[in-house]
């Protein structure tokens, strides 16, 4: 029991401490709002894309992509999308419906999930998380644009061209797809007995590796610095709905379903897969959800509060989920 508790603490405490450090540094005015804004852009446009790129580019055999895992993830996201629609019906304000809806299905997989998967599963865990991100990140972004567009006038008004452009320009998607291209080229070269002509040139790989390693601590410190715990007012019902969906329903279905199916022999998921699934379904709503909600004339204030409170409470739910899955010998 002590070993399980120690494993759980070693997994979740780095996340808590780094976020607490960011929050403290902001409170004492060491980190300015301008620095946090630039830091957030640096993480989103540089560090996380490079982390995703490196993790996927390091795949030596693209046949490692497990379609059973990808299929499970897509099905669960679809279920959460449906649940989010039902839960959004309990909110009257049209500009809050899309915010609640995306909160249920869209996790902070890139910012918190991938580093968390690495803490739980090491290189195998972060590799599986990177593979899942190849599918989940485009799905999350497309669905978010759709649900934030649907509710405002009670009509569906979708700009397909803009949606496609947003997908193509998304730095996380660019990082994932670029890594897939490199991994595919490596796979074809090995398969055809062609030696890598760049194998002796390592300085570029070293630079990318340095920046990728910086993604986790910088992202968590910046996220902690963005917390504003004094801006909660008039949103109690909406917060309860969003938190219930994101912090409880999502991990129970996403991780709990995988546990039941694995223990019953229906699926063959190992520790690397469970590390990635916990990171995908157990993390809070994406920070980008608030930025997108504001930009698309939804209730950006509510979206920001959901980011804060689902993040705080996810530290508790993540601890419980990791502890249980570890106790069952699946992590």
Closest CA to 82 of 101, 96, 99, 98: 101
Interval 175-226: pLDDT, tens: 888 988 888 888 888 777 777 666 667 888 899 989 988 887 888 888 788 7
Alpha-carbon gap, residue 18 to 220, rounded angstroms: 6
Of 2.40.110.10, 1.20.1530.20, 1.20.1740.10, 3.90.1170.50, the CATH number of 2-327 is 1.20.1530.20
Percent of the chain at pLDDT > 70 equals: 91
Phi and psi, residue 257, nearest 5°: -60, -40
Instruction: Please state the rounded mean pLDDT for residues 153-179.
Output: 72
Higher pLDDT, 255 or 156: 255
Instruction: Please state the rounded mean pLDDT for residues 155-177.
Output: 72
Q: Where are the alpha helices (DSSP H) in 92-202?
A: 94-105, 114-150, 160-169, 171-191
According to the model, what pLDDT value does residue 277 have?
Answer: 96
Give the pLDDT band (50/70/90) at residue 246: very high
Q: Torsion angle of alpha carbons 28, 30, 36, 39, nearest 10°?
A: -140
* Domain boundary assignment for the chain: 2-327
Percent of the chain at pLDDT > 90 equals: 33
Alpha-carbon gap, residue 217 to 127, rounded angstroms: 18
pLDDT at 154 over 60: no
Closest CA to 119 of 272, 5, 306: 272
Are 80 and 206 a contacting pair, CB within 8 Å? no
Alpha-carbon gap, residue 256 to 249, rounded angstroms: 10
Instruction: Please state the rounded mean pLDDT for residues 166-182.
Output: 81
- Among 166-175, 189-198, 264-273, 315-324, the range scoring the smallest mean pLDDT is 189-198
Give the pLDDT band (50/70/90) at residue 29: very high
């Amino acid at each position: 029991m002590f070993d399980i508790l120690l494993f759980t603490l070693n997994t979740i405490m780095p996340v808590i401490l780094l976020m607490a450090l960011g929050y403290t540094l902001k409170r004492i005015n060491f980190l300015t709002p301008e620095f946090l804004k630039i830091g957030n852009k640096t993480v989103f446009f540089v560090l996380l894309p490079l982390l995703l790129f490196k993790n996927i580019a390091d795949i030596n055999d693209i046949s490692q992509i497990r379609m059973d895992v990808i299929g499970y993830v897509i099905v669960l996201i679809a279920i959460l999308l449906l649940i989010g629609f039902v839960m959004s019906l309990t909110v009257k304000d049209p500009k809050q419906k899309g915010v609640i809806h995306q909160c249920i299905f869209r996790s902070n997989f890139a910012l918190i999930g991938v580093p968390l998967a690495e803490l739980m599963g090491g290189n195998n865990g972060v590799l599986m998380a990177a593979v899942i991100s190849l599918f989940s990140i485009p799905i999350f972004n497309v669905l978010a644009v759709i649900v934030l567009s649907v509710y405002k006038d009670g009509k569906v008004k979708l700009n397909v061209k803009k949606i496609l452009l947003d997908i193509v320009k998304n730095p996380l998607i660019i990082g994932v797809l670029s890594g897939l291209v490199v991994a595919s080229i490596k796979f074809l070269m090995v398969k055809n007995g062609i030696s890598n002509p760049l194998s002796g040139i390592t300085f570029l790989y070293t630079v990318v590796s340095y920046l990728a390693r910086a993604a986790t601590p910088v992202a968590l410190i910046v996220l902690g610095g963005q917390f504003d715990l004094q801006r909660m007012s008039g949103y109690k019902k909406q917060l309860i709905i969003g938190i219930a969906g994101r912090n409880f329903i999502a991990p129970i279905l996403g991780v709990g379903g995988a546990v039941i199916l694995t223990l019953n022999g229906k699926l063959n998921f190992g520790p690397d897969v469970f590390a990635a699934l916990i990171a995908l379904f157990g993390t809070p709503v994406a920070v980008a959800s608030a930025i997108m909600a504001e930009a698309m004339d939804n209730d950006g204030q509510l979206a920001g509060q959901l980011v804060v409170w689902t993040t705080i409470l996810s530290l508790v739910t993540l601890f419980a989920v990791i502890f249980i899955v570890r106790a069952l010998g699946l992590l």
